[in-house]
Amino acid sequence: RNRLMEKVNELNRLANVEGKGRGDMDLTCVLEAERLAGRPLCTCCARQPVGAQPDAAGAGGSILAATSSCRCCGPNGAGCTPPVLMKVAQALLRSLERLRRVLQRYAQCLYQLNSHLANNPDLVRALERFEAAWETANRYLAQPGQRRVALGAYHVVAGIRQPGFQDALASLDPGVLVSSVPRAILFHEMRRAVAAGSGAGVGGGGGGGGGAASG
C-alpha cells in the first residue's frame, strides 16, 4: 500500500493541470479513516441539545470538553465515530476507491491512456478529488488539535434545535454557514463564561459570609 501511495503521488504531480499536485501524501490519514469508518456511528450529540450536558459544556467546560463524554459507546467514545469524522473518513475512502477504479481501467487498456497525463480528464478529476479529500482528512483526522476543534464545533451546531436551522445547514445555505454557525458557537462560549463567572461569584460570596458570621 505504501508503494501505491508513492505511485499516486507521482501521478498527481505529473497529471496536475497546473503542475502543482501534491507529492507528499501518505497513508496515515487513510489508515485512520479506515479505522473510524469501521466503527458504528455515534448518535449522542444529535440527541442532546446544547446546554443539556451538566457534566460537560453546559457546566462551564469548553465546547471541546463536551466531546469527551459518549453515552452510546462508553467513555471517550472508544467504540463509535462522531458523524463529522465519519463523513470525512468516508469521503476519503470513496475518493481512493474511485481513483483505484480509474487506474484499474487504464491497466486493462493502457493504449487509451494519453501519454500527456494532464489530457486524461477522468484521471485528473479522480486525482484532484483524492487530493482534496486527503487534505481534509489529514487536517481533521491526523492532527489532534484540529480534530478536537471540529468535534467541538459539531457538538454545538448539532445541539441547536431552532426550527429550520438543521435543514438550512444540510442545504448549505450561505446565510447559515457564514452567519448563524459562528454566532451559535460564540453564544455557547458566552454562556459558558457567564456560568463560570456565576459559579465563582457564588463560591466567593459563601466564603465571605462564613467569615463574617464567625467574627
pLDDT averaged per 10 residues, the chain (length 215): 90 83 91 94 60 40 47 62 90 95 89 84 93 93 89 78 72 66 77 76 52 44
Residue in the structure block whose three cell numbers are 457546566: 59
- What are the cell numbers at 44? 449522542
pLDDT at 193: 80
Q: How far apart (Å, rounded) are the C-alpha atoms in residues 184 and 169?
A: 12
CA angle 177, 186, 88 (to 5 degrees): 45
Model confidence, pTM: 0.70
pLDDT at 140: 92
pLDDT at 61: 44
pLDDT at 59: 37
pLDDT at 47: 46
pLDDT at 92: 95
Residue burial 68-104, b: 16+ Cβ < 10 Å; e: rest = ebbeebeeebeebbbebbbebbbbbbebbebbeebbe
Q: How far apart (Å, rounded) are the C-alpha atoms in residues 151 and 207?
A: 38
pLDDT at 57: 38
